[in-house]
Structure 1
């Protein structure tokens, strides 16, 4: 694992706080938040056990909402919900080729991600046409 700078650690901490304070819109959103949380924790050098404990407490806080079952009918059973959240975080640690996605972060939270070197680099096809430079002659 590469050495992470102090600025990246602060950015990771800020990104994790934003993720944990955002309300998912669907069951897929819960999985995406947990997976993104795992990716950022891995890049910040946080042990998987600590990341799993934090995301599990976030999941229990989310389940405490009075209308949780109406909002997320797939997760009516607490054991299935806990399994899915734990699996999402731990699978992020097992996939070293994946990097935290700044686009997914913005979609999940509605905020721009903090500046850090661990965010993915957008491929050329994803950049806007007007941002591209004209080919040199």
Structure 2
């Protein structure tokens, strides 16, 4: 009697750490930036999330799951998320798909404050593998270019 063994392909081991590269850590709020995660295991599934706080103190967030490529990296501008708050290849998806922690996204909008009072705001980018955060980095989004005044 012969049998066939069924084997389940093992999931890649979770990385202990990763690196987040942002091509322009400080950029205008309407300018795209490139985010790349490196140092992962090939085929590893990770969640990349963004978080910011608006002028009312309300937390906004977005997330997307990606599968690391053969080099152990995820390039948000080139890879389609497996799941998340956005579903298409979009390097800025973690920004435009942010939703408020409370209330409906359709009934509110993100604002850090007027440019005269707060010329920039911070967005925290984090990477999770399994149940662990393995990297985080903050990017600054500016409402106006350095040296531009407001009257």
Bin of the TM-score, shorter chain as denominator length: under 0.3
The TM-score with structure 2 as length reference comes to 0.25
Structure (1 or 2) with the larger CA radius of gyration: 2
The TM-score with structure 1 as length reference comes to 0.27
- Which structure has the highest strand share of the two? 2
Which structure's relative contact order is higher, taking Cα pairs within 8 Å and 6+ residues apart?
1
